[in-house]
Amino acid sequence: MSRSFIRNAFDRVAAAREKQARRYVDNYLLTLDDETLKALGHSRAELRKSGRGAPLPF
């Protein structure tokens, strides 16, 4: 049975919001120094490579 229109729309909205949240968090993480990023388990190169650290529209 195919998924309902409402369920499909909800899933798409949720996915878009999740992508937006990741982009927001990655942009914040890019403002931290390298030592803090390392302590959090990230690297600046990794964040830039992921492509999610794109500029926000505001």
**The two three-digit tokens of residue 29, written as one number:** 């993480």
pLDDT the model gives residue 48: 84
Check: CB of residue 42 under 8 Å from CB of residue 35. no
pLDDT at 3: 80
pLDDT < 70 positions in the chain? 1-2, 51-58
Q: Looking at residue 55, what is its pLDDT?
A: 58
Which pLDDT belongs to residue 11? 96
